[in-house]
Amino acid sequence: MSRTFRLGTRASQLALTQSRWVATALEAADPDARIELVEIRTTGDVDRQRALAQFSEVGIFTKQLQSALLDQQIDIAVHSLKDLPTVSPAGLLLAAVPEREDPSDVLVTALEADLADLPDGTVVGTGSPRRRGQLAARYPGLRFSELRGNIDTRMEKVRAGDPPAAILARAGLARVGRLDAIREVLGPEVMVPAPGQGALGIEVRVDDSESRALTSRIECSATRAAVTAERELLRVLEGGCRLPLGALATLEDETLHLRAILAAPDGSSSVTVRLTGPVGEPHALGAEAAQRFLQDPAGAELVARLR
């Protein structure tokens, strides 16, 4: 018997593109399922004036979607996983994590220069303390400005030279078909992405067995293991979007390799942790990485000051 599932999504271009992809994948997984998109405005969408680091509340891009789930206004919510708090509200479940896009950050610029060749004093647009911290530590001559808005808005500002360069997530550009805009892909040796970057998180109500069964069909176990380690590290450190933490886990031959960095937004100090662990124990790997940060005097000081 067919059922229509209401899928909640933010109304931005990227969010709608992601959600349409999820809808298509779900309908392909179960031909009897019908997916109806429901657009929901979140706090982060309504308030575009404040810098992201200035928000004191958790889940500015997810809370309204979660409330709609709990109120049974929707049946499924699609999130960019890097925006989703590490602890779900009572009654909700992270039911599926599809295969991840490339999680790398990228440089977009109107200048004929890669990141290492940008002249001192070049302004780089980014709203992320994590990106600022890692860039400032490696390239102290760069300057930074707040940059928010959808992908097209940010790229138009860069084309106009205000700012002349910006850092974006490759996954977002890939999903909206704008890989041509990339000047340089920044590997993890240059910039470690945010926990969960490039992955989607699909949330449902715990008691909705039909939605749980449907969404489980597009689960990627390798992606789930990697992002679980990254998000457990973030959870133990009690960090949100304001904590300038980069974390990336990759899977090789049943072993997870976790690289993480905590960098002060002004680049004045940073601490790096690298660990490996079995793919079946991602929570333990993330928790151990967190303890490594907390046991390091510089790491403990950064966590206490920045979270």
Known active-site residue 266: no
Q: Tell me which of 83, 105, 162, 208 is the catalytic residue.
A: 83
The per-residue b/e assignment along 261-276, b for 16 or more CB within 10 angstroms, e otherwise, is bbbbbebeebbebebe
**Which of 253, 259, 260, 249 has the alpha carbon at shortest distance from 282?**
249
Token output for 262: 């905590």
SS (H, E, C) the chain: CCEEEEEEECCCHHHHHHHHHHHHHHHHHCCCEEEEEEECCCHHHHCCCCCHHHCCCCCCCCHHHHHHHHCCCCCEEEEEHHHCCCCCCCCEEEEECCCCCCCCEEEEECCCCCHHHCCCCCEEECCCHHHHHHHHHHCCCCEEECCCCCHHHHHHHHHCCCCCEEEEEHHHHHHCCCHHHCCEEECCCCCCCCCCCCCEEEEEECCCHHHHHHHHHHCCHHHHHHHHHHHHHHHHCCCCCCCCEEEEEEEECCEEEEEEEEECCCCCCEEEEEEEEECCCHHHHHHHHHHHHHHCHHHHHHHHHHC
Catalytic annotation, residues: 83
